[in-house]
Structure 1
Amino acid sequence: MCKAVKISVRGRVQGVGFRPFIYSLSKKYRLKGTVQNNLDHVLILLEGAEDKLEEMVNEIKMSSPPLSKISEISVEEVPVIGFKEFTIAMSQASGEAVPWIAGDAAVCEECLNELKDPSNRRYQYPFINCTQCGPRYTIIRRLPYDRPNTTMKTFQMCHACQLEYNDPKSRRHHAQPICCPECGPGLTLYNQRKEQLAENLSAVAQAVRFIKQGSILAIKGIGGYHFACDAQQEQAVDQLRIRKKRPQRPFAVMVKSLEAARELCHISHQEADRLTSSDMPIVILRRKKHSLLPDKLSPGLSTLGVMLPYAPLHHLLFEETGLSCLVMTSANSTGLPMPYKESVNSLYDIGDYCLTHNRDIYLPVDDSVVQCEGESLMYIRRARGFVPDPLLTEQNVDRILALGGNQKNTFAIGKQNHVIMSPHIGDLENEEMIQSFESQLQHFKKWLKVDEKYIAVDKHPFYASQSIVEKLNGEVIPVQHHHAHHVSCMEDNGLKESCFGLILDGTGYGEDGHIWGFECLYGNANSVERLGHLQYTPLPGGEQAVKEPWRNAVGMLLHYWPLEGKALAEELFPDKWSEINTIDRMIKYKLNTPLAGTCGRLFDAVSAMLGICCTSTYEGEAAIKLSDYMYQTSNESDEAYSFHLNTDSHHFLELDLSPMIREILQDQFNQRPLAQIVQTFHQTIVSSCVEMVLKAAEKRPELNRAVVLSGGSFQNIFLAREMKRQFQKKDFNVYTHKNVPCHDGGLSLGQIIIASRSSHL
């Protein structure tokens, strides 16, 4: 007996070969009907035998294409129409639910085999792709995802590609970026005078020769331009640092293969899986001590950011060229947006040559950065490959916009019960970065068909969001920085009941006007209360003390020990005696000396006291270099320095770490090995945090014994792992981030959830 069903499939079902997949199943089960892309779902009409209909529906649920992600599937019996065959219907731009777009995917194994096959018509073609790989997010102008709505619109398919596109048996059936050397994009190599030197494969060969000669190349990839040079040539690395004005911040490298990466770094099974996944992010790995790569790739660190070739062009740069490892870093001047258009002058000011192509990038996206901790994945930068997948929430976030923070910015938009977060944008420190933010925000709003009704912003009066919000329409809902961190981690773990939050980060605007960042909180999205914090110390010069941690250290010493602190400071920083006198006066007269109690600034001060990093050239440098010493000792002692836990004038628990600072200085002057001092310091932070939460729980035994860990300091794997272990020993349920970064890159998630529960709504 013939029956008919209508199937609606929602989720990431566009740009992943879903319609060809359905077509092939219809042939397998001898069913007739249609499949059609709509703006927010795929609509399938099927007619045939009842048992075959059931089998096909089950296979859709269980064996969908690798890049797809089904969030909802509904099946409804409908009247039989009498289809004569199964066809792929023309897409319709209709639908009001949340559209899902596949992230840009690394070249798949089948395309890679064709790329290396001399008999294949796409042999060595740098834009080879199929339904399971290639650009997606970066080329889509509008939805639904069809070729005319992408930047591939300008490339007319040749007859051979058109046949593949129309052939249901082909891997490229309805692959929207399909192309070949006859009809697709091409490469061009330019010099600094923007004179054309070569095209296509000749351009690749010439680019490789220039890299081997020590030159720096700007190379256009999937989401923007990289600067590339031979990672094994120290002089080239030095030159790139000078031109980018990036003296210390680590460079990521692209390594020819997983086997080549194993020669340079220690790689676990989890790290290998992530390196070779379809999103192919940069993975932070431990370097092998006898690696042949120059230390200047990641100065002062024992780790290295490594990725594998993810675009066909990357493979051509390595294929039988003798190159095995390239620096591959975003081609922006420090502090500016990543360039993705040929007109950006920095490409030619910094690069000796530019290897570009004529497939436009509509939306830029940086490389994602992750770190593995056992089975867990920690997002350092959530971008290419991971966005723009929506996050499902039980809150009504419809038409709420969250602007995020000033550093490591992401924004979030709510549509119905989904949160769509932007990729990593960066630090909103100048007009160019703000313009980049606003441009991407407008695209997301248009794409999602959302006009904001409410706007969540950080309470900091000087964040860029305060000026951005003036150009938007909607009721403003201010959100405290650390409350947003707290709720971000709660939402990341599906928590709703109030719980403790231990928030350790660098800088956040506090309710009392001071700088917070070492907080013991309790609450949920409705409200939060502060239970404890780190004792405030002066930050002489404010932002200047952040960039020059030795000033922060001096401020602490003068605050803790007004009589002998100056002598201690001069002993630690003998070449700074004049500045120390000035800082002493600044503190006495309270001149440009805000009070701060943050974990980031504490790490900075200790790093400076130990002579590890006195001046930071990039955000977090002093803390990162200090923490790296944790890799240099196998001593797993629970030894901790002394500390006091008091009650301040507002009845908050107040953590006084001055005894720890005194003991660190004694160890330093007694020449105790740095790695041991750093380990004991880390253990003290863990012990003091656990003690603070335990004291708060003892005072209020009715409180829920669950704690979330959030804030940028939890990028420190030891802190996250050891804190979790110690809390679990005390019968706490402990939660860390899963889908968004623990730093300010996850802030917008917390903001949008808090706004959804605001009394304004």
Structure 2
Amino acid sequence: MPEAILIKVKGRVQGVGFRPFVFQLAEKYKVTGTVQNNMDGVRIIAEGNENSLENLVNELKTNAPRLSRIDSILVEDVELNGFTDFSIIASERSGASSLVIPIDASVCEDCLNEMNDPANFRYLYPFINCTQCGPRYTIIEALPYDRPYTVMKDFVMCDKCRKEYEDPTNRRHHAQPIACPECGPKVILYSIDRKEVASESAAITAVKEKLTIGEIVAIKGIGGYHLVCDAKNEQAINLLRQRKSRPQKPLAIMAKNIEAVRKVCAVNEREEEAITSTAAPIVVLQKNRNEILPDELAPGINTLGMMLPYTPLHHLLFSGNSLEFLVVTSANPSGLPMLYKDEEAFHYLEDIADYVLTADRKIIHPIDDSVVQIINNKLTFLRRARGFVPDPLITDKNIHGVVSLGPQQKNTFAIGRNEEIFVGPHIGDMNHYEMTQHYKRELKHLMKWLGPFTKPILAIDKHPSYAVRDLIRNFRDSDVIEIQHHHAHHVSCMVDNHLNDSCFGIILDGTGYGEDGNIWGFEVLYGDAKGYKRLAHLRYSPLPGGEKAIKEPWRNAVAMLIEYLGNEGKELAGTLFPEKSYEIEIISNMVVKNLNSPLAGTCGRLFDAVSAILGICTVQSYDGEAAIKLSEIVPFNASCRGDVYPYELKDDCNLLEIDFSSCLKGIITDYLKGRDYAEIVQAFHETVVHSCVDSIVKLANHDEKLNRSVVLSGGSFHNPFLAREIKRMLELKGFRVFIHSRVPCNDGGLSLGQLMIATANRTNG
């Protein structure tokens, strides 16, 4: 006796070949009915015998397409309709959306094989794709994900493409970006003065020739424009740095294949898994000792950000020539959004690129490359973007209608829908009008797709000067909840690890507005999303000139020495920076009289000071340079050896103060005596580790009722030694320690914590 069931599948089930997969299952198990995309996900009506229906449902759960992610399958009995076959029917566009928006994916092996097959009609076509690969999020205008609601509506399918598109047994069935040389997008190469040089395959051949002779080409990718040059050519690299005013910041490298990566970097199993994944992120890897790539790619750094080709065009650039490594760096000017419009590329890059390789497929949502690193054998994000956004994080809380606006630096926003958290794309630093406009566009799009939200609850950072505060006026009558920066870090890591109970948090970062009006960033907290208590912090020191002392770490070092060590510190500063005697007098006066010198106690500024003291970086050319170059001196797999400088833990009105004045004096003494750099730097790192561990132990022993779980958050935990050793040493003392894995530990993960805190503290509970 035939039965009928309704199957509702939610998750990432559109744009991933899910309907043809269901169609093929229906044929396999002789089931009739329909499958349909709707604003909920995928809706299946299946009719057949009990065993066939059970097999179909089981295989839905266990054998779904590689790009899909099933969050829930709901099955219910319905009345028989008497279907005689199984069909894919038109999408339903009515109702509120609960769709998971498909993510961009690297080109698959099947498409690459076809692209390299001279007998295939897509031979050497740079936009080949199927349901298992290609652009998704970056080309979508509206939901559900159907071709008329993407940029591909501008391209009328030819007969060959349409035949594949309409064939339920073909892997390109309803592949919305489907295209071929006859009907799809085309590439065109221009000189920077906008003269057409070549088009289609001739353009790609010309680009390879230009790169081989050291030219710089701006190339339009899935998410925006990159600046590209030969990564083996020192002259081209230096020219790119000079033109882009980027003298020191590491450049991302694309290698021809994984074998090429192994020539220049150590790659373990987890790192290979990450770099070859469908997300195809940039993976931070340890350099091998080789002379293949010049030091100019990452001056003073022992790591390289490596990625593999993730578009057909990338693969074509490496084919049939001597190119093995390419610099592939974002083309946007510093502080501005990703360049993704052709007119912008010609305007902003006229003094940087020699040529522009563009295409007539538009980009709706620009997005950066994701950047990851494997720490403690876990994937950790430095930047969560292409290939991961806007995939939601699932929670057990109803967070619907809560929107967090994120921080000032490394901004992301987050939107709550039912039990799903959508952390938006990496926006960047909110210091420019163009960046704010970009932020507004992306937030508006995602809220429209995920809503409607009639009166969202807004979560914002407590800092009174953050640019996101200006966005509140766009949300009339919405409740606004202000959230302390480091509390958001704490809760972000809790959510990342599915923790609900109050716990300790060690928060190490560069800057965050404190409840006392000072700058926090080396904190021990205890609490949960409902609230927190600050239990310990680094002793404050002044930042003379504020931002100027951050950009010029030697100023920060001088002020810290004077604050911590008085006249002795001033004398030591004169010894360390003899050419700055005039400025030291001014800084001393500013510190003593508290002139334009906000107080800060942050891990970032502590690392900056030590980096300047040791002469590693006295003036920063990019964010975090001083701390990064200091941390790179410690071998990647080093562990604590017991070599620790002195420090103090001082009780101050039930608040523990961590005092590094003796540590700094010891570092300077060793430095002036000529002790090996590497030994000093590792001892400093060990001192930071021990101070954190000892603080937690002392606080936990003081109140044994406290939960012995600890979360680690803040941008300083991108330092592998700190993340690994603080975790290891606390675990040896019986604590459970958690690090980030689904969002960055830096401010890029802050919006996640903001959203959960706002949810826990909204008036309706």
Q: Please say whether Structure 1 and Structure 2 have the same fold, judged by a TM-score greater than 0.5.
A: yes
Residue 632 of structure 1 contacts residue 675 of structure 1 at CA under 8 Å; is this kept in 2?
Answer: no
Match of 1:487 in 2: 491
Residue 217 of structure 2 contacts residue 354 of structure 2 at CA under 8 Å; is this kept in 1?
Answer: yes
- Cα distance between partner residues in 2 of 1:736 and 1:633: 18
Q: How does 1:22-421 map to 2 (within 5 A)?
A: 22-96=22-96, 98-344=98-344, 345-421=347-423
Letter in 2 for 1:610: L
Measured after TM superposition, the shift of residue 98 of structure 1 is: 2.4
User: Tell me, what secondary structure is at the counterpart of 2:119?
Assistant: coil
Match of 1:575 in 2: 579
Measured after TM superposition, the shift of residue 453 of structure 1 is: 2.1
Measured after TM superposition, the shift of residue 399 of structure 1 is: 1.0
Residue 540 of structure 2 contacts residue 600 of structure 2 at CA under 8 Å; is this kept in 1?
Answer: yes
Match of 1:444 in 2: 446
Kindly provide the CA deviation profile for residues 586-644 of structure 1, in whole angstroms up to 9, marking residues without a partner as x.
11111100111000000000000011000111111100000000128967512111111
User: Tell me, what secondary structure is at the counterpart of 1:301?
Assistant: coil
Instruction: Report whether the alignment pairs 1:723 with 2:762.
Output: no
- Cα distance between partner residues in 2 of 1:597 and 1:312: 48
- Cα distance between partner residues in 1 of 2:458 and 2:639: 49
Instruction: Report whether the alignment pairs 1:610 with 2:618.
Output: no
Match of 2:431 in 1: 429
Measured after TM superposition, the shift of residue 395 of structure 1 is: 2.2
User: Tell me, what secondary structure is at the counterpart of 1:76?
Assistant: strand
Letter in 1 for 2:586: T
- Cα distance between partner residues in 1 of 2:423 and 2:444: 13
Kindly provide the CA deviation profile for residues 436-455 of structure 1, in whole angstroms up to 9, marking residues without a partner as x.
11111111111112334211
Letter in 1 for 2:671: Q
Instruction: Report whether the alignment pairs 1:517 with 2:521.
Output: yes
Match of 1:534 in 2: 538
User: Tell me, what secondary structure is at the counterpart of 1:618?
Assistant: coil
Instruction: Report whether the alignment pairs 1:679 with 2:682.
Output: yes
Match of 1:655 in 2: 658
Measured after TM superposition, the shift of residue 348 of structure 1 is: 3.1
Instruction: Report whether the alignment pairs 1:507 with 2:511.
Output: yes
CA distance 1:134–1:614, shift in 2 (3 Å): same
Runs of at least 5 residues in structure 2 that lack an aligned partner in the other structure: none
- Cα distance between partner residues in 2 of 1:43 and 1:276: 32
Q: How does 1:733-744 map to 2 (within 5 A)?
A: 733-744=736-747
More displaced stretch, 87-96 vs 730-739: 87-96
Match of 1:664 in 2: 667
- Cα distance between partner residues in 1 of 2:409 and 2:640: 34
Match of 1:19 in 2: 19
Q: How does 1:614-625 map to 2 (within 5 A)?
A: 614-625=618-629
User: Tell me, what secondary structure is at the counterpart of 1:561?
Assistant: helix
TM-score for the superposition, normalised by structure 2: 0.98
Residue 399 of structure 2 contacts residue 756 of structure 2 at CA under 8 Å; is this kept in 1?
Answer: yes
Residue 456 of structure 1 contacts residue 479 of structure 1 at CA under 8 Å; is this kept in 2?
Answer: yes
- Cα distance between partner residues in 2 of 1:245 and 1:274: 31
More displaced stretch, 247-256 vs 45-54: 45-54
Residue 640 of structure 2 contacts residue 686 of structure 2 at CA under 8 Å; is this kept in 1?
Answer: no
More displaced stretch, 169-178 vs 106-115: 169-178
- Cα distance between partner residues in 2 of 1:633 and 1:725: 13
User: Tell me, what secondary structure is at the counterpart of 2:316?
Assistant: helix
Kindly provide the CA deviation profile for residues 135-157 of structure 1, in whole angstroms up to 9, marking residues without a partner as x.
00000111011100100001000
Letter in 1 for 2:569: G
More displaced stretch, 131-140 vs 694-703: 694-703
Residue 285 of structure 2 contacts residue 305 of structure 2 at CA under 8 Å; is this kept in 1?
Answer: yes
CA distance 1:630–1:517, shift in 2 (3 Å): same
Instruction: Report whether the alignment pairs 1:469 with 2:478.
Output: no
User: Tell me, what secondary structure is at the counterpart of 2:53?
Assistant: helix
CA distance 1:209–1:265, shift in 2 (3 Å): same
More displaced stretch, 449-458 vs 54-63: 449-458
Measured after TM superposition, the shift of residue 417 of structure 1 is: 1.7
Match of 1:550 in 2: 554
Residue 226 of structure 1 contacts residue 330 of structure 1 at CA under 8 Å; is this kept in 2?
Answer: yes
Letter in 1 for 2:54: E
Count how many residue pairs are aligned between Structure 1 and Structure 2: 760
Instruction: Report whether the alignment pairs 1:595 with 2:595.
Output: no
Residue 639 of structure 2 contacts residue 721 of structure 2 at CA under 8 Å; is this kept in 1?
Answer: no
- Cα distance between partner residues in 1 of 2:380 and 2:574: 40
Measured after TM superposition, the shift of residue 396 of structure 1 is: 2.2
Equivalent position to 1:747, from 745, 750, 757:
750
Kindly provide the CA deviation profile for residues 212-244 of structure 1, in whole angstroms up to 9, marking residues without a partner as x.
111110000001010000011111111111111
Measured after TM superposition, the shift of residue 374 of structure 1 is: 4.3
- Cα distance between partner residues in 2 of 1:466 and 1:241: 35
Measured after TM superposition, the shift of residue 651 of structure 1 is: 2.5
Kindly provide the CA deviation profile for residues 544-600 of structure 1, in whole angstroms up to 9, marking residues without a partner as x.
000000000000111122222221111111111111111011111111001110000
User: Tell me, what secondary structure is at the counterpart of 2:620?
Assistant: coil
- Cα distance between partner residues in 2 of 1:28 and 1:573: 77
TM-score for the superposition, normalised by structure 1: 0.99
- Cα distance between partner residues in 1 of 2:68 and 2:192: 42
Measured after TM superposition, the shift of residue 472 of structure 1 is: 2.5
- Cα distance between partner residues in 2 of 1:658 and 1:549: 17
- Cα distance between partner residues in 2 of 1:348 and 1:330: 15
Match of 2:631 in 1: 627
Letter in 2 for 1:665: I
Residue 639 of structure 2 contacts residue 725 of structure 2 at CA under 8 Å; is this kept in 1?
Answer: no
- Cα distance between partner residues in 2 of 1:242 and 1:112: 36
Measured after TM superposition, the shift of residue 291 of structure 1 is: 3.3
Q: How does 1:445-460 map to 2 (within 5 A)?
A: 445-451=447-453, 452-460=455-463
Match of 2:482 in 1: 478
User: Tell me, what secondary structure is at the counterpart of 1:117?
Assistant: coil
Runs of at least 5 residues in structure 1 that lack an aligned partner in the other structure: none
- Aligned Cα RMSD in Å? 1.1
- Cα distance between partner residues in 1 of 2:614 and 2:435: 35
User: Tell me, what secondary structure is at the counterpart of 2:511?
Assistant: strand
- Cα distance between partner residues in 2 of 1:292 and 1:586: 49
Residue 263 of structure 1 contacts residue 291 of structure 1 at CA under 8 Å; is this kept in 2?
Answer: no
User: Tell me, what secondary structure is at the counterpart of 1:508?
Assistant: coil
Letter in 2 for 1:321: N
- Cα distance between partner residues in 2 of 1:95 and 1:716: 46
User: Tell me, what secondary structure is at the counterpart of 2:471?
Assistant: helix
- Cα distance between partner residues in 1 of 2:681 and 2:98: 48
Kindly provide the CA deviation profile for residues 105-145 of structure 1, in whole angstroms up to 9, marking residues without a partner as x.
00000000011111111010000000100000000111011
Measured after TM superposition, the shift of residue 724 of structure 1 is: 0.5
Measured after TM superposition, the shift of residue 475 of structure 1 is: 1.4
